[in-house]
Amino acid sequence: MPLSSLVDRYSVARELAPAPARSAGKSGDSIPPGEHHRLGLGALRTPVRASSLATRCGYRVVVMLVALLGFSSWAQAFDLQQLSDQLAKPEVIHGSFIQEKHLRALPQPLTSTGTFVLARDHGLLWLLKTPLQQDYRIDTQGIARRDGSGWQRLPGKSAGAEQNRLFLAVLQGDSSGLQRDFELSLTGDPQHWKLTLIPRSMLLKQVFNQINIDGGELVQRIELLETQGDSTVLRMQDSTRHQPLSDAEHHDFAK
């Protein structure tokens, strides 16, 4: 159920609520007869009015229960499997990114920018543009970096390699892979969701406190909170799923 529907139901319940009663004041004070209806006190003067008030109060409770039950079903409707299926649908995604590295020792974050190509059947091309140019390829075989002689495989146990594998699993919607290493908690709906990852293994607990991922149709933001107080925020921008791989991209994935 959309959140707007919940708000609408709550608004209906408020409209049905009786007006608050006002104290009659000191002994001997009186309230003009016309005021009873306006103050909501007239409902207490006759059994008919009392019955009407009870009916309205009962209906108010029913409406609120329906709203809460509706919210519960809405919150549970979008699960990890549906998120995985949603993120795995596009065959190719092109986009740009901005990465900010927040270090405790520095007053300003270290910012880098670039572009990426995510191909469902091939992996991820991570093309850094600023502050320096460097190309990476991440696939099921590991991490490779391009130099003057072509693509060179990096050691599989490096910290950068592990982080890039994590990015690939997140972008491809590989929840089963993530569940091996993290406790996953998902909130929201297909258009606006948030996935929280808490490390399971001692190795990951030494590096990360928590990872937060936000998105809609595609992943939009990744936040890495590290144990030493540093953090990394990655924003995926201008992502599109309508552009096929170019010949050059096919070539990069094939090498």
Average pLDDT across the chain, whole number: 75
- Residue ranges and CATH numbers for the domains of the chain are 3-77 (no CATH), 81-254 (2.50.20.10)
Own/partner pairs for 214-220, CB < 8 Å, 24+ apart? 215/87, 216/190, 216/191, 216/192, 217/86, 217/190, 217/191, 218/87, 218/90, 218/93, 218/95, 219/87, 219/170, 219/171
Distance between CA 208 and CA 192 in Å, rounded? 24
Residue 47 is predicted with a pLDDT of: 45
Residue 158 is predicted with a pLDDT of: 55
pLDDT for res 255: 75
The pLDDT value recorded for residue 159 is 56
pLDDT score recorded for residue 191: 94
Q: Over 50: is that where the pLDDT of 244 sits? A: yes
Whether 190 and 216 have beta carbons less than 8 Å apart is answered as yes
Query: Rounded distance, CA 171 to CA 175, Å?
Result: 10
Q: Which pLDDT score is estimated for 163?
A: 66
What is the distance between the alpha carbons of residues 19 and 178, in angstroms, rounded to a whole number? 52
According to the model, what pLDDT value does residue 212 have?
Answer: 96
Reported as a single tens digit per residue, the pLDDT across 113-145 is 999 999 988 999 999 999 999 999 988 788 899
Q: Residue 10: what pLDDT? A: 37
Per-residue pLDDT of 23-79, as tens digits, reads 444 444 444 554 444 433 333 344 444 444 444 444 444 333 333 333 333 445 689
Q: How far apart are CA 223 and CA 100, in angstroms?
A: 10
Predicted TM-score of the model (pTM): 0.66
175-183 mean pLDDT: 84
State which amino acid sits at residue 60.
Answer: R
pLDDT interval class at 107 (50, 70, 90) = very high
pLDDT number for residue 45: 41
Lowest mean pLDDT among 34-43, 180-189, 196-205, 243-252: 34-43
